Amino acid sequence: MSDAVQTEVPGDAARHLRDPGTGTSVLVVDNLVVDHRNRTTGEVFRAVDHVSLRIDAGESVAVVGESGSGKTTLAMAATGLGTRGEGDIRLLGHSLSTISRTRLRRLRPEVQVVFQDPHGSLDPRQSVRSGLRELRTLQPRRTSWIDDTDLLGRVRLAPEILDRYPHQLSGGQAQRVCIARALLMRPRLIVADEPTSGLDVSVQADVLALLREIRTTTGAALLMISHDLAVVRSLCDVVHVMHRGRVVEAGPCETVFVTPAHDYTRELLAAMPGARWRSRR
């Protein structure tokens, strides 16, 4: 597999993609193409168009772009959770095109996804406690490192939450429960798909701080999907800017936000002036 470079990724920003793999990559995506077919008309829509990216252990990588640019399709295909597509994907050292179903199943707990709608991610019929019990039954060894009370403490929730059902939780509490469930699995990669956009502004910063803390304390890599450059700025090392299925610019956040090379990135930044960085030098 080559370390493919998007030809349209400019100058220094491409360096991250050109660097040879260090052997510690949790995810390497090479030239991914994903098409969606409209079931009624049969029309094919290219949602991801020859995209490459790499996430090393402990690294925090963002994919930004407006709604419909293909971010979620990319993340789901790259982690083996969505439409497979064409191209080479190596997840935790395994090629998704040749991996056996059994091995992929074993790999699943290593990749945890936190979605935009926390209530939609939780089973409404299960209390928090019974939801955690179910995960523990499925993965007894992996989950034995922490008890429920300490786990909730890690996401700053009181033990009383254990006996609540999803409808009895605020959006922020429900998202913390989702993060706790992900954390329980001791994942090597957390995919956060717009994890704060469904939440009140007042709790968004808390959830971001929590994700940052979890990254630091567990060493898990993070793939952050967002249309919000301020969120990316607060959490990520590297950003890939997606536009109509293609990565138009990629590189360290500071480089991309201080000296954006592509018109589309400049438009995104102009729409959100607070996200623009001044050089730290």
Distance CA 235, CA 243 (A): 21
Distance CA 97, CA 78 (A): 11
The answer to whether 70 contacts ligand ATP (rule: CB under 6 A) is yes
Instruction: At 40, list the tokens.
Output: 């009624």
The answer to whether 45 contacts ligand ATP (rule: CB under 6 A) is yes
User: Of 47, 78, 128, 157, which one interacts with ligand ATP (CB under 6 A)?
Assistant: 47
The answer to whether 227 contacts ligand ATP (rule: CB under 6 A) is yes
The answer to whether 73 contacts ligand ATP (rule: CB under 6 A) is yes
User: Of 22, 40, 41, 67, which one interacts with ligand ATP (CB under 6 A)?
Assistant: 67
**Of residues 210, 230, 193, the one with CA closest to residue 76:** 193
Per CB under 6 A, the segment of 63-71, 123-131, 138-146, 263-271 that binds ligand ATP is 63-71
Q: Which residues neighbour 68 within 8 Å (Cβ) at sequence distance 6 or greater?
A: none
Q: Which CB sits closer to ligand ATP, 90 or 227?
A: 227
Minimum distance from residue 38 beta carbon to ligand ATP (Å): 6
Among residue numbers 155 through 184, which ones bind ligand ATP (CB under 6 A)? none
Distance CA 147, CA 151 (A): 6
Among residue numbers 8 through 37, which ones bind ligand ATP (CB under 6 A)? 36
Cβ count within 10 A of residue 27:
23
Minimum distance from residue 277 beta carbon to ligand ATP (Å): 23
- Interface size with ligand ATP, residues (CB under 6 A): 13
Minimum distance from residue 190 beta carbon to ligand ATP (Å): 17
The answer to whether 71 contacts ligand ATP (rule: CB under 6 A) is yes
List interacting residues with ligand ATP (CB under 6 A): 36, 38, 45, 47, 65, 67-73, 227
